[in-house]
Structure 1
Amino acid sequence: MTSKRWLAPATVGAAGVGALLLVQVLQPVVWPGSPFAAGAPTRVVAQMVPAPPRLSSHERAHLQHVLDEVVTEGSSGAVAQLVETGKGGSDSWTGVAGVADRSTGAPVDPDAHFRIASLSKPFVAATLLQLVGEGRAELDDTVEQHLPGLVDGGAQITLEMLLSHTSGLFSYNRAMPPVVEDPLRRWEPAELVEIAEEQGPVFEPGTDVAYSNINYVLAALVIESVTGRPYAQEVRERIIEPLGLTGTSIPEGPEMPEPVLRAYLAIRPAPGAPPEPVGITEFDPSRWYGTAQIVSTVTDVNRFYTALFEGEVLDEGMLTEMLKVRATDEQGVGYGLGPRRQTLSCGVRVWMHSGNISGYRTWTVHTADRHVTLFQARFAEDPDPPAWKLIEAALCPSERSATAPPDGGRSPEPTPVPRPSEPSPEGGYDLPPPRREYELDS
């Protein structure tokens, strides 16, 4: 695999200019075809080593203030981390706000575990792209080739369409009962596919783009078809363990590892009564097979993206494929194979993913040299505005000019919108209210 595919020039921080070092090259490493490939002499080379980036105390204080507003405006607890990288190293800020448990008032732990929801998808996409890079599958392979007879029209749907949400398949979760009605109900992947099949496609494959969770259920099943092993095992052995993501897991049961940031739903105990918080931290995650099962920490999610963009996860060819925008939706979001391209209101172009799952709202947003991840234990009707305020505070500071991340080539430029939203998994603030006596906010 290639490494360090791209890194933005480091911003000179409080430490000042980099030190001047003398490096003696005893056995020069030369690339094939280099004019120095034969008989390259041993030389003493002087090079500048940049100082690591430094986040100012003012910026740290401002980020904490904005994170506090995330809780003030409706989340019971939140944790966020900003990492700035450069050739000289990195610097980071991690902040917490609110409480981890409404009943005890325990504070949020910076290492709190969280259901990262759809932030799971790029982990699955990277795993499948590794298999493609190994020649064990192709992006233009069809679903029918790997999962014969499972999906009507599967011969017209490619793996590329699954990963880019251009398959046209219905997002099964929109026709499922809410988690709170039977939190320990175990779902088989075939049942999820059946729900999507009963609803029928929303457009012809490859003619449009629409976010659909069934795409990643199928991607996980393709991984299993290719390898003969559970998709979760492949993600662990190919992504989680090599990157040292010790706070990341793919649980099979409802239990959450400690420390945990607990989740709540706003439910009306009776028609017309004000909503009250009901705990929803523990539930069987099988309803999100392959699409939103991962539990992680803000540190691990940022580590994954840093490693991904530096070439530690995919080789150059597969990383280029992942970061090639296939389609752009009406919100201006460009869909790659996993990560999504967006332009912030300040004009900074980012790669991102967001997530919605019962009681939780998740965000991870990245430029070439800045990585921000935010977890909210959501409780308000609409948790997005304060989250976007923090994201833009982290990536649009007035004193710096963020470097654009790679675009993978041939990418249509997304049109900026104030803040893109994502459909809630159970009919929340951006969908018609559920037809039940209580109301869910996720």
Structure 2
Amino acid sequence: MLTTVPFVLTAALLAPAAPATTDPVRTVAQEAVSAGATGVQIRSVRDGHFRTVTAGVSELDSRKPLSPTGRFRIGSTTKSFVATVTMQLVAEHRLGLDTPVERYLPGLLPHGNEITVRMLLQHTSGLYNYLRTISLAGTDLEKVRYQHFSPEQLVAVATAQPLDFPPGSKYSYSNTNYTVLGMLIERTTGHAWGDEVAKRILRPLGMHDTTVPGDRTRIPGRHAHGYQEMNGKLVDVSELNPSVAGAAGEIISTTADLDKFVEALATGRLVPPALLGQMTTPRSAIDEYGLGLQTRTTPCGIPVFGHTGGIPGYGTVAFTSADGKRRVEASLTLGRGPDNDTFYALIDKAICA
């Protein structure tokens, strides 16, 4: 996920499983609100039939319910879009997975001859995560909330620090990897990464409610408000300049649009099967991250892939079974939580329901 917003583990997540007669998707939505989310909207799909569930409110101090079609910031779920475009360029023989970044972006990275495109995609480059310096947690957000950041600035923050480990030796989630991938897409195509996402994914799939906002601070159209705790109070952080996230977490979308995306991925409409297989294969048995996609085996034994996302005020889930027949997308507008376990409980209950 993009940010390190503090989460709270609550007893609701540790409660015994709900009785079989209850609705597990609605139950997990209510549990998320009990765990600190202001509101939750969930879209779940099975065998072509979808349903939507909401819980909580769209704005504090109101009784206004969430719209199941409202927009939200998807945070690091953006990475799966950037990874998809990257893999399309690999399929077109315009990028090589095991080619050093130095060949495409000479002089950008001090260890550019050792760091490959594959390492960026799977977070094994060792690049320092710039968000360890540019903090978005708590009151730190107010220092940078409306500030413009260029990709070059973000990479410079990261490369001012030593590598966390030798390239390729370990896994460690770093938003810097996807900032560099965005720059790679631009260098290779001659177009900004967001324009390539729109050209290759959004327009072909009819994702009309999905945008790459750049420096635009407002979420367009109907949307729930997101909050962050600052000095013991919940502050509305729905408006911010998402350039601090960029190719690592900038996109705004809806659950219906995200469903179009993960279904198209699973059914081979975006990436050739051999390359999708690499995207959904973790580096090792203990990792859950492939090339731009997180993988998970649910309690009912159904393997899924997709991506979670976090950016101040918002948390996102977008996962599909390998055959595309079971899918779940959700937005949690955050208050004082919830814990990451809520995201995984949501995936598991929606897929296995």
TM category, shorter: 0.7 to 0.9
User: Which of the numbers 81, 85, 89 marks the counterpart of 1:127?
Assistant: 85
- Corresponding position: 1:385 with 2:348: no
Which of 161, 169, 191 is 2:127 aligned to? 169
Pick the aligned partner of 2:311 from 354, 357, 364.
Answer: 357
TM normalised by structure 1 equals 0.71
Once residues 151 and 84 of structure 1 are traced to their aligned partners in structure 2, the CA distance between those partners, rounded to angstroms, is: 44
Residue number in structure 2 paired with 1:247: 209
The equivalent position to 1:219 in structure 2, one of 174, 177, 181, is 181
Secondary structure in 2 matching 1:241: helix
How far the C-alpha of 1:326 sits from its partner, in A, is: 2.3
Tell me, in whole angstroms, the C-alpha distance in 2 between the residues paired with 1:241 and 1:357: 25
Deviation string for 1:291-330 (max 9, x for gaps)? Answer: 10010111111210111110111123332332232235xx
1:425 — aligned with what?
Answer: none
Q: In structure 1, what is the equivalent of residue 297 of structure 2?
A: 343
How far, CA to CA, are the matches of 1:258 and 1:84 in structure 2? 28
1:289 is the counterpart of 2:252? no
**Cα offset for 1:227?**
0.8
Alpha-carbon distance in 2 for matches of 1:106, 1:251:
26
1:116 corresponds to 2:74: yes
Which residue is equivalent to 1:320? 277
Cα distance change of structure 1 residues 135 and 60 upon mapping to structure 2, 3 Å threshold:
farther
Determine if contact 2:35/2:337 at 8 Å carries over to the other structure. Answer: no
Aligned residues: 327
Separation in 2, partners of 1:382, 1:64 = 16
Structure 1 Cα separation of the partners of residues 68 and 93 of structure 2: 40
- Conserved in 2, the CA contact under 8 Å of 1:119 and 1:362? yes
Question: Would the aligned equivalents of 2:66 and 2:224 in 1 still touch at CA under 8 Å?
Answer: yes
Taking the aligned partners of 1:77 and 1:124, their CA distance within structure 2 comes to 28
Residues 99 and 106, structure 1, Cα contact 8 Å, conserved in 2: yes
Contact 1:163 1:216 in 2 (8 A): yes
Counterpart contact for 1:81–1:299, Cα < 8 Å: yes
Aligned partners of 2:104 and 2:284: how far apart in 1?
24
Secondary structure in structure 1 of the residue aligned to 2:165: coil
**Identical-pair percentage:** 33
The residue aligned with 2:229 is 266
SS at match of 1:97: strand
Per the alignment, residue 287 of structure 2 pairs with 333
Change (3 A) 1:59 1:131: farther
User: How far did 1:60 drift?
Assistant: 8.6
Query: Is the 2:38–2:56 Cα contact (8 Å) retained in structure 1?
Result: yes
Give unpaired runs (5+ residues) of structure 2: 1-19
Structure that is richer in helix per residue: 2
Once the two structures are overlaid, the 10-residue window that deviates more, 201-210 or 357-366, is 357-366
Deviation larger for 65-74 or 339-348:
339-348
Q: Shift of residue 246 of structure 1?
A: 1.2
Match of 2:55 in 1: 97
Structure 1 gaps of 5+ residues are: 1-57, 269-274, 398-442
The answer for the alignment partner of 2:352 in structure 1 is 396
RMSD: 1.8
Partners of 1:180 and 1:280 within 8 A in 2 = no
* 2:230 aligned partner, one-letter code: I
- SS at 1:67's partner residue? helix
Tell whether the 8 Å contact from 2:37 to 2:338 is kept in structure 1 after alignment.
no
Q: 1:182 aligns with which of 144, 148, 153?
A: 144
After superposition, what is the alpha-carbon deviation per residue over 1:10-54, rounded to whole angstroms, capped at 9, x for unaligned?
A: xxxxxxxxxxxxxxxxxxxxxxxxxxxxxxxxxxxxxxxxxxxxx
Identify which of 219, 222, 234 aligns with 2:196: 234
Say which SS state the counterpart of residue 354 (structure 1) adopts.
Answer: strand
Contact 1:60 1:93 (8 Å CA) reproduced: no
**Change over 3 Å in CA distance of 1:134–1:59 after alignment to 2:** farther
Which residue of 1 is the match for residue 5 of structure 2?
none
Distance in 2, Cα, partners of 1:347 & 1:388: 14
Aligned partners of 1:60, 1:83: CA distance in 2, in Å? 18
- Which 4+ residue blocks in structure 1 deviate beyond 6 angstroms? none
